[in-house]
Amino acid sequence: MEIVLACAIGVLTACGVWLLLRPRTYQVIMGLSLLGYGVNLFIFSMGRLALDSEPVLAPGVPTDLAHYTDPMPQALVLTAIVIGFAMTALFLVVLLAQRGFFGNDHVDGREDAE
Amino acid sequence: MRALAQALMPHLIIAPILLPLLTACLLLLLDGRRHRIRGMIGLAAALANLVIAALLLSWAGSGHPTAYGVYLPSNWDMPFGIVLVADRLSALLLLTAAIVALMALLFAVARWHKAGAHFHPLFQIQIMGLNGAFLTGDLFNLFVFFEVMLAASYGLLLHGSGPSRVRTGLHYLAINLVASSLFLIGAALIYGVTGTLNMADIAARIPQVATSDRALLHAGFAVLGVAFLAKAAMWPLNFWLVPAYAAASAPAAAIFALLTKVGVYVLLRFSTLMFSEQAGASAGFGSDWLLWGGTATLAAGAFGMFSTQRPGRLAGFAVIVSSGTLLAVLGLARPELTAGALYYLPSSTLGVAAFFLLAELMERSRSADVAGARAPEDEEDHLPFPLAELELDKDVNLDEDEEMLIGHAIPAATALLGLAFICCTLLVAGLPPLSSFIGKFVLLTALVPGLSADTLHVESLLTWVLPVLIVVSGLCALVALSRVGIRFFWTPVDREAPLLRVVEFVPIALLVTVCIVMSVRAEPVMRYATATAEALYHPAGYIDAVLSARPRPTPTNAERLGLQGPEATP
C-alpha cells in the first residue's frame, strides 16, 4: 500500500509541476488541481497508513491512537480541499477574464512568436 | 488605558478577528451601491480595530517582559484545541497593520471603493486574515488565516479590473496557490514527525525528536519556510511582487505592504521559538539561509530601484528592500539586532504604505505626461473603465453628500505632494531625521562593532557585506527616488495644477506623522522593541504560558477536567 500511495503522490505532483510550468492558463489550472490532489494524499499519509482502524470512538476499544485513525490529517485535508476548491473557482474566473481581455489563453496575455 | 485593557483582557485577544469578520458580514448585507454608508461602517470598524490593537499593545507592554495572553477559543484542553496568543510581537504587528489599514481605507473612500462591488467586505476580511495570522498559536490556524488573507488579497488585487490587474492577478494567484501547497506539505511533515500542530507544543518537542526523524523535521520546516519566504519576497522568489503591487489600486497596494511582513513575522516567530538554543540539534536551523537570502534580496531590491521610473514600481522595490533588510538581520539571530529590526519594521512598513498611496496621486497628477514616456512593462495602466466614467462626469454625478465626504481640492497641491514625496524618500531611503533612519542606525551600530575584527579573514570580510549593503541600498533608493522626484515635480509642463483632495492627502500625512512621532519618541518605542526581542530569544516563557493554559470549567467539561488533568483554575 505504501508503494502505491507513494507512486500516486509522486505522479500527481510531477504532473502538476510540469503542467504548472506550461504557458497556457488551462494547463496551469490543471497543474494546480493535480498538485492539490498530490498534497492532499500526502497529508493523509502523514497520519500514518492503517487498515481497519476505527474512524470514531467505538465502545470497547482503548482510546489511543494505535487503535484509531488519526483525525488531524483528515481535518487538515478537509480544509485544504475546501480552500483549494474555492481558489480553483476563483482562478477560473480570472482565467476567463484574462481571455476576455487579451483574446488568447497565454499566461502573459500574448501569443508566442512561434 | 491599561486598566481598561486589563479589564477586557482575556476576550480582547479574539476581538481583532471577530470585529472585522462581523463587519464584513454586515457590509455584505448592505446594498453594494450605497458606498457612503458602507464606507462609514468600514472606517468605523477600522478605527475600532486600531483602538483594540492599541489596547492590546498597552497590555502587552505594561507587564513584565513575559506577559502572554493565551486564549482558548474552543475551550479545549491545551495541546488539542486551537489557541490564540497575544504577546509583544503580535501586538506590535497588530498595531502596525491597524494603522496602515485605517489609512488605506481612508484613502479608498475618496474614490477607489466605488470601482467594484465588494471592496469593503474584502478589505475587512483582509484585516481579519492579517490579525488572525499575527495572533494564532498553531500551525493549522496559521494556514487558515493565511488563506483568508490571501483570498481577500486576490480580490483586492483585482479590484478595479483592467488588463494589467487581471494579468498580474493570474500570476499572483498561481504563485500563492503553489506556496499554499508548500505550506500544507511542510505542515503535514511537521505533524507527521512531532504529532502536534500547536507551535508551543512543537517547540517543546523538537529537542526530543529522534535523530532519524530530524532530517524529516528539517525538511518540513524548510518546505514551510519556502512558502513564507515566497510571501516575504525573498530573492529569487519575489519576481511576482513588483508587477502585482504596481498594478494593484493604491489602497490595496498599501495594505499589501503588510502581507510581506506577515511572512517576516512568521519566520521570526518560528526561528526564535522552534530553533532557539534550547532546541538541541536543531538550534539555529535555517538562519544562514535567512541571512544570505535576505542579503541577496536587499541587493536585488536596491538595484531593482534603478530599473524603473514609475513611482508604483519603485514602491514595490522598496517593499523588497525592507523585506531583505529584515530577513538578513533576523538570520543573524542576535537580540540587539532583532530589537533594531522590530523598530525598523513598523517605520519602513508605514513609509512604504504612504509611498504607495502617494505614487497613485503622483501618477494621476501627471497621467497625460507619463503616457508618452512609459516603459513597455508599464503599459495599460490607464484608469479602468468604471473609474474613468466616474472621473468624466464627476461634477454632474455627485450629490451634496458625496461632495462633503470627498472634501475640497486643496491649493498648493503640487507643493504638498512634493513635501510628502520628500518625506517618503527619507523614509524609504532611511535618511535622517525620520524613523527608518533610527531603525537602520540601530541595526548598523549593532552590526559594526562585532566586525572590528583585526585581520582580513574571508569570514570577517563576509560580515561586512550586510552593513555595507544596507548603506548602499539607502543610497540606491535616494538616487532612484531623486530622479523620479525631479522628473515629476521640477519638469516644467503646461498643465493645470493637480487636483488633490483633502481626504486623499490626509492618510499620507498621517502615516508620515506616525513616523515622525516614532522618531521623536524613539526611546519608548526602542525600549518596547528591546523587551520584545528579549522575550523572543527566551522562548521558554512563551512555551510555558501556552502549555499551562487551562480551559474554563463549564458544566460539560468539569467532570472530564476533574478526571483527567490537574484541577482547572476558575
**Residues 137-166 of chain B whose Cβ lies under 8 A from any Cβ of chain A:** 140, 143-144, 147, 151, 154, 158, 161, 163, 166
Beta carbons of B91 and B532 less than 8 angstroms apart: no
Q: Is A15 exposed, middle or buried (0-12, 13-18, 19+ CB in 10 A)?
A: middle
Task: Using an 8 Å CB-CB cutoff, list chain A residues near B151.
Answer: 83, 86-87, 90
Predicted local distance difference test score (pLDDT) of residue B449: 65
Q: Cell 502505491 belongs to which residue?
A: A4
Inter-chain touch A87–B151, beta carbons under 8 Å: yes
Q: Which of A21, A101, A104, A106 to mutate to test the interface with B (most CBs of B within 10 A)?
A: A101
Rounded to whole angstroms, the Cα distance separating B533 from B268 reads 10
Whether B553 has a pLDDT exceeding 60, the answer reads yes
Q: What are B75-107's pLDDT values in tens digits?
A: 887 777 888 998 889 999 999 999 999 999 988
Closest Cα in chain B to A110? B167
Q: Which of B168, B182, B184, B240 to mutate to test the interface with A (most CBs of A within 10 A)?
A: B184
Rounded to whole angstroms, the Cα distance separating B157 from B178 reads 18
Rounded to whole angstroms, the Cα distance separating B197 from B269 reads 15
A33 pLDDT band, cuts 50/70/90, is very high
Nearest Cα to Cα of residue B347 among B320, B322, B315: B322
Inter-chain touch A46–B188, beta carbons under 8 Å: yes
Whether B250 has a pLDDT exceeding 70, the answer reads yes
Joined grid coordinates for residue A52:
481497519
- The helix (run of H) or strand (run of E) holding residue B84 is strand B84-86
Inter-chain touch B187–A76, beta carbons under 8 Å: yes
Q: Which of B138, B142, B177 to mutate to test the interface with A (most CBs of A within 10 A)?
A: B177
Q: Is B525 exposed, middle or buried (0-12, 13-18, 19+ CB in 10 A)?
A: buried
For B84, phi then psi, to 5°, come to -110, 135
Joined grid coordinates for residue B392:
468624466
Produce one character per residue of B271-281: b if its CB has 16 or more CB atoms within 10 Å, e if not: bbbbbbebbee
Inter-chain touch B191–A36, beta carbons under 8 Å: no
Q: What are B322-336's pLDDT values in tens digits?
A: 999 999 988 888 888
Mean pLDDT, rounded, for A64-93: 86
Nearest Cα to Cα of residue B328 among B300, B284, B293, B302: B293
Closest Cα in chain A to B145? A83
In one-letter notation, the amino acid at residue B274 is M
3-state secondary structure of B538: coil
**Which range among B58-67, B256-265, B462-471, B502-511 shows the weakest confidence by mean pLDDT?**
B58-67
Whether B257 has a pLDDT exceeding 60, the answer reads yes
Produce one character per residue of B153-174: b if its CB has 16 or more CB atoms within 10 Å, e if not: bbbbbbbbbbbbbbbbbbbbbb
Mean pLDDT of all residues belonging to chain B: 81
Predicted local distance difference test score (pLDDT) of residue B381: 43
Q: Which residue among A80, A94, A101 sits closest to B184, beta carbon to beta carbon?
A: A80
Nearest Cα to Cα of residue A25 among A114, A83, A98: A98
Tell me if the bond preceding B236 is cis, omega within 30° of 0. yes
Q: Which residues pair with A33 in a beta bridge?
A: none
B495 pLDDT band, cuts 50/70/90, is low
Inter-chain touch A102–B167, beta carbons under 8 Å: yes
Q: What DSSP designation does B405 have?
A: H
Output B387 or A3, whichever has higher pLDDT: A3
Q: How many CA atoms lie within 13 A of B566 on its CB side?
A: 7
Q: Is B101 exposed, middle or buried (0-12, 13-18, 19+ CB in 10 A)?
A: buried
Helices marked H in B333-451: 335-365, 367-370, 385-392, 394-397, 400-406, 413-429, 435-447
Predicted local distance difference test score (pLDDT) of residue A112: 61
Output B367 or B55, whichever has higher pLDDT: B55
Q: Which residue among B143, B173, B191 sits closest to A46, beta carbon to beta carbon?
A: B191
Beta carbons of B386 and B114 less than 8 angstroms apart: yes
Whether B462 has a pLDDT exceeding 50, the answer reads yes
Q: Which residue among A35, A47, A102 sits closest to B181, beta carbon to beta carbon?
A: A35
Q: What are B224-244's pLDDT values in tens digits?
A: 999 999 988 888 888 888 888
Whats the size of chain B, residue-wise? 570
Q: What are B350-389's pLDDT values in tens digits?
A: 999 999 998 888 877 765 444 433 433 444 444 444 444 4
What is the maximal distance between C-alpha atoms in chain A?
Answer: 69
With a CB cutoff of 8 Å and minimum separation 6, the contacts of B151 are A83, A86, A87, A90, B125, B129
Q: Measuring CA to CA, how many Å separate B380 from each of A103, B156, B168, B529?
A: 15, 18, 12, 43
Q: What are B398-419's pLDDT values in tens digits?
A: 444 444 444 545 557 777 888 8
Rounded to whole angstroms, the Cα distance separating A66 from B167 reads 50
Closest Cα in chain B to A13? B181
Domain definitions of chain B by residue range: 290-369+400-450+466-512
- The most confident of the ranges A6-20, B4-18, B449-463 is A6-20
Whether B455 has a pLDDT exceeding 70, the answer reads no
Q: Which residue among A73, A80, A97 sits closest to B166, beta carbon to beta carbon?
A: A97
Closest Cα in chain A to B150? A87
Q: Which residue among B174, B185, B191 sits closest to A32, beta carbon to beta carbon?
A: B174
Task: Using an 8 Å CB-CB cutoff, list chain A residues near B171.
Answer: 107
Region label for A49, one of left (φ > 0), alpha (ψ between -120 and 50) or beta (otherwise): beta
Inter-chain touch B192–A20, beta carbons under 8 Å: no
pLDDT above 90 as % of chain B: 24
Rounded to whole angstroms, the Cα distance separating B94 from B367 reads 36
Rounded to whole angstroms, the Cα distance separating B349 from B89 reads 15
Closest Cα in chain B to A95? B170
Q: How many CA atoms lie within 13 A of B227 on its CB side?
A: 23
B466 pLDDT band, cuts 50/70/90, is confident
Beta carbons of B318 and B301 less than 8 angstroms apart: yes
With a CB cutoff of 8 Å and minimum separation 6, the contacts of A88 are A29, A32, A33, A36
Nearest Cα to Cα of residue B178 among B230, B126, B234, B216: B230
- Helix A71-102 × helix B163-194 angle, to 10°: 170
3-state secondary structure of B471: helix
Q: Is B463 exposed, middle or buried (0-12, 13-18, 19+ CB in 10 A)?
A: middle
Predicted local distance difference test score (pLDDT) of residue B498: 64
Closest Cα in chain A to B197? A72
Rounded to whole angstroms, the Cα distance separating B485 from B479 reads 10
Predicted local distance difference test score (pLDDT) of residue B109: 84
Beta carbons of B240 and B259 less than 8 angstroms apart: no
- The alpha carbons of chain B give a radius of gyration, in whole angstroms, of 24
Produce one character per residue of B27-47: b if its CB has 16 or more CB atoms within 10 Å, e if not: beeeeeeebbebbebbbebbe
Task: Using an 8 Å CB-CB cutoff, list chain B residues near A108.
Answer: 167
Spelled out in words, what is the top-level CATH class assigned to the domain A1-49+69-102? Answer: mainly alpha
**Residues 164-193 of chain B whose Cβ lies under 8 A from any Cβ of chain A:** 166-167, 169-171, 173-174, 177-178, 180-181, 184-185, 187-189, 191-192
How near does any CA of chain B get to the CA of A67, in Å? Answer: 16
A65 pLDDT band, cuts 50/70/90, is confident
Predicted local distance difference test score (pLDDT) of residue B497: 61
3-state secondary structure of A49: coil
B133 pLDDT band, cuts 50/70/90, is very high
Inter-chain touch A73–B188, beta carbons under 8 Å: yes
pTM: 0.87
**Any B CB within 8 A of A24 CB:** no
**Residues 53-112 of chain A whose Cβ lies under 8 A from any Cβ of chain B:** 72-73, 75-76, 79-80, 83-84, 86-87, 90-91, 94-95, 97-98, 101-102, 107-109
Q: What are B524-542's pLDDT values in tens digits?
A: 888 888 888 888 888 888 8
Q: How many CA atoms lie within 13 A of B541 on its CB side?
A: 17
- Helix B88-108 × helix B502-520 angle, to 10°: 160
Q: Which residue among A25, A84, A94 sits closest to B158, beta carbon to beta carbon?
A: A94
Nearest Cα to Cα of residue B258 among B312, B302, B322, B314: B322
Output B114 or B118, whichever has higher pLDDT: B118
Domain definitions of chain A by residue range: 1-49+69-102
Whether B63 has a pLDDT exceeding 70, the answer reads no
Predicted local distance difference test score (pLDDT) of residue B10: 79
